Amino acid sequence: MRHLTYVQALNEALAQALELDSRVLLIGQGVISPWYVGASTKGLYDRFGPTRVIDTPVSESAVTGAAVGAALAGLRPIVVHPRMDFMYYAFDQIVNHAANWRHMFGGGASVPVVFWGIINRGGEQAAQHSQALHGMFAHVPGLKVVMPSTPHDVKGLLLSAVDDDDPVVFVDERWLYGDVGEVPEEPYRVPLGVAVVRRVGTAITIAASSWMARQSLRAAEVLAMEGIDVEVIDVRSLKPLDTECLLASVRKTGRFLAVDGGWRSYGASAELCAVVATRAFDALKCAPARIALPDLPAPAARTLESMYYPDAERIAARARSMVAEPQRCVAREEPA
C-alpha cells in the first residue's frame, strides 16, 4: 500500500474525478497556482486543459453561480473556495438556489456540484481568514456536508461527492495537508453519511471531524497511558449524520464528548450532543459535553490563537474529568 500525504491524495482524487467523467470540471481561484490551494491542484491544468480546469477572477458569487448553472445544464463541477470565509459571498447561490432546486421541482432537477471550501485557520490570519463554516451549511436542508480527516478519506469522500446527484459541501482543512496515510492507487469511494470508529474503547466516546478528529486521537493516546480507554468516532459526514454509529458507541461507554472546530453555539457539537441526549439518555452515566471554539472572532496574535483553538491536551483534560465524575447523569455548567 502506498503512503501519500493528505494533499497528494486530494490531488490524485481531483485528477481521477476529471479522468473518469468528462462532465467533471474544476473551477475557481488559484487552480493553476502551485501554492494558492496548497498544491492540491498541481499539474491538473497541464493535463486536462483550460476547458476542464478553469482559473477564475476573484468573484466568489459569480464563480459559484457559474458552477450551479453548469450543474443544472448536466455537468458536474467542483468549485473551489481557497478561503472558506469568502463563501459568505456565495450563500445565495449555495443556500438559496443549489440546496432547493431538487425540492422545488419535485425531484425533476438536481444540482450535482461540489462546493469545496478550504479552512485556513491559524498563522495569525485573524477573524476574516480563519473561519470554519461547516455548521452553517449543515443547518441547510438540501445540502450534504463532509469533512475528511485522513489521506484515505479525502480521496474517497471527494470521489463520492462528485458522484452524488445533490450538492455537497466538501470541507477541507489545510492543517491536515502534511498528514501521511495509506491510499490505494485505484479510484475508490468512501460513502457519504457513514462514520468510522478510529479507536475502540469502553470508558468514553469522543466524536469529531477533520482536524479535531486527529486531535481527539492524540488525546486518546495520552489517556490510554493513564488507563482510560477512549473510543474515538470520526464523524466524517455531518450531513447526513451516522446517528447509529454514535448511539451504539454511547450505549457501550455511557459518556459522550463532542469536539468541533467550529463555534460552540448552534454548531456541530450542539447537534451531536442533542442526538445523544435525546436518543441515548438512558445509557448516559454523566451529561454529554462539548469542546468547540468560543463564540468570539478568531484572534490574530499567536499567543491568543493557542488559547482559542482546542488541542489534544484540552480534549484529554475534559474527557479525564468526565470519567472521574460520579456515574449518574446530572446537569452541570459547561466552561465557556
Q: Which residues contact 53 (CB under 8 A, 6 or more apart)?
A: 18, 25, 26, 27, 31, 32, 41, 44, 45
User: Which amino acid, residue 107?
Assistant: G
Annotated catalytic residue 3: no
**Angle, CA of 134, 139 and 143, to the nearest 5°:** 80
For helices 151-163 and 6-20, the axis angle rounded to 10 degrees is 30
Is-contact 98 111, C-beta < 8 A? Answer: yes
CA distance 216 to 221: 9
Is-contact 238 149, C-beta < 8 A? Answer: no
DSSP notation for 12-34? HHHHHHHHH-TTEEEEETTTT-S
Parallel, antiparallel or unpaired: strands 289-293 and 144-146:
unpaired
Phi, psi dihedral angles at 290 (to 5 degrees) = -145, 150
Give whole-number Cα distances, 182 to 151, 155, 201, in Å: 7, 11, 23
Name residue 25's beta-bridge partners: 77
Phi, psi dihedral angles at 137 (to 5 degrees) = -70, -35
Cell numbers for 93, please give them: 447561490
Cell numbers for 44, please give them: 491538473
Annotated catalytic residue 97: no
Q: Which of 97, 129, 134, 152 is catalytic?
A: 129
Q: Which of 12, 60, 271, 305 is catalytic?
A: 60
Mind telling me the catalytic residues? 60, 129
